[in-house]
Amino acid sequence: MFNENATGAPLRDIGDTASTPSRSALFEPLALRRGAIIPNRIAKAAMEENMADQGQVPGPALLALYSRWAQGGAGLLLTGNVMIDARALTGPGGLVLEDDRDLPLFARWAAAMKSGGGQAWMQINHPGRQMAASMGQQAIAPSAVPLDLGSLSRMFAQPRAMMQAEVEEVIARFARTAVLAEQAGFDGVQIHSAHGYLLNQFLSPLVNQRTDQWGGSLENRARALLETVRAVRAAVASNFVVSVKLNSADFQRGGFDVADATQVVRWLNDLDIDLLELSGGSYESPAMQGSPADGSSTAAREAYFIDFARDIAGVATMPVMVTGGIRRRSVAEAALSPEGDRIGVAMLGIATAMTVEPALPARWRAGESLEIDLPSLKWKNRALAAGATMAIAKLRLRRIAAGKIMKRTPSPMLTFIGDQLRTHRLAKRYRAWILAVNR
């Protein structure tokens, strides 16, 4: 039996759909060490919306989208990337928060996110080398190592190695954006050190080829992340949440691996962060979408990173959240439960499934068991497949914000082409804006 949800995507009824709510560990609150309480164990994980208004600020579309999710029952809503530097965005429709000029707009966004009673955290980020060439800006990275995406590599800016002062500036910018998020009314921030973005680039021995205190040994490669966490924690109130998103592995041969991640977590234990989210992959190896470049079988099933997360949760002193591919309640509940001598995780991040059903947590809480059919592209070009998958997700986000129904999964290739055209228009708008800002 199939039924349509608010976005029109198919949901398969796989169990009892009685209206009596069921008891489940999914809906137990989680108390964090500094006093914050997340009402349940389901988070709307961060996604790349690229829906900013003119000026790279949240407008009516983002408010409508997050208001919908806020009413959908998740205990925590994480924003997509909010960038710490107007010169460095993951996409031309991205958000920037680097000063207080647009703070009232971000405050309205925070209020919309909290309207359902859940926590609202801002994900703060810098793209490093993962920045489109169409942005017209100079990309920076730990070392001048460009993205290797085959024929698609030309779509990204050629990076140059950062100077010492630029590393310090980036750390200060993370702290400044965290302070602004607190002033806007967010409950916390998440420092993005995964998916191949700048702090993850410092961790990677493939990208970070420096010979100073920011490169070489794992301790040196982790320094940028650890100093950023220290700077953010020192800049915000003691009860403001500071969390980190970290790759369990980059899924590239010779890259950042689970042993490295485990050691970084041990160092993070000493910094008193509130929650650690584990994911994996990068633009070069999109394991977060189930397509790692190293051929790993981990991503061939639902809950891609749960095995890594269980192992790392065993050494973490903070609660651990795992994100990646979760779409069934049974899988979500299993991830929270111990398995043999390994503990379960504390939180679950759900992303793509909540573009299909924004009220998925509420429906699970009501006792429904739903299996969401997600598109899976088996294209030979993994980078192109990842781009098309993201384009479909972004289209769903815009439809949710507009209150429209997506009656069927669109053509991946046509959606990708349409997304590229939209991105081109947004890049033109961005270039005009940044030019005006810098005058």
**Residue labelled with tokens 């509420």:** 362
Choose between 281 and 98: higher pLDDT: 98
Residue 11 near residue 370, CB atoms below 8 Å: yes
Kindly tell me if the per-residue pLDDT of 288 is higher than 60. Answer: no
Q: Work out the burial of residue 225: count CB atoms within 10 Å of its CB; fewer than 13 is exposed, 13-18 middle, 19 or more buried.
A: buried
**Which pLDDT does position 292 carry in this prediction?**
46
Domain with 213, as residue range(s), is 2-437
**Which pLDDT does position 342 carry in this prediction?**
79
Kindly tell me if the per-residue pLDDT of 298 is higher than 80. Answer: no
- Tokens matching residue 61: 């579309």
User: Residue 204 and residue 400: Cα distance in Å, rounded?
Assistant: 36
Q: Max alpha carbon distance in the chain (Å)?
A: 61
**Which pLDDT does position 303 carry in this prediction?**
58
**Which pLDDT does position 130 carry in this prediction?**
95
Residue among 186, 85, 164, 179 at smallest CA distance from 127 = 85
Out of 3-12, 169-178, 188-197, which region has the weakest mean confidence (pLDDT)? 3-12
Backbone Cα Rg of the chain: 20
DSSP single-letter state for residue 339: B
**Which pLDDT does position 285 carry in this prediction?**
66
Residue 356 near residue 389, CB atoms below 8 Å: no
Query: Percentage of the chain with pLDDT > 90?
Result: 66
Average pLDDT, the chain: 88
> pLDDT-based confidence at 340, cuts 50/70/90?
confident
> pLDDT-based confidence at 283, cuts 50/70/90?
confident
Residue among 48, 114, 107, 111 at smallest CA distance from 75 = 114
This prediction's pTM: 0.90
Number of independent structural domains in the chain: 1
Residue 104, C-beta contacts closer than 8 angstroms, at least 6 positions apart: none
Kindly tell me if the per-residue pLDDT of 293 is higher than 90. Answer: no
Out of 113-122, 285-294, 341-350, 359-368, which region has the weakest mean confidence (pLDDT)? 285-294
Residue among 80, 73, 18 at smallest CA distance from 245 = 80
> pLDDT-based confidence at 325, cuts 50/70/90?
confident
- Tell me the CATH number at 154: 3.20.20.70
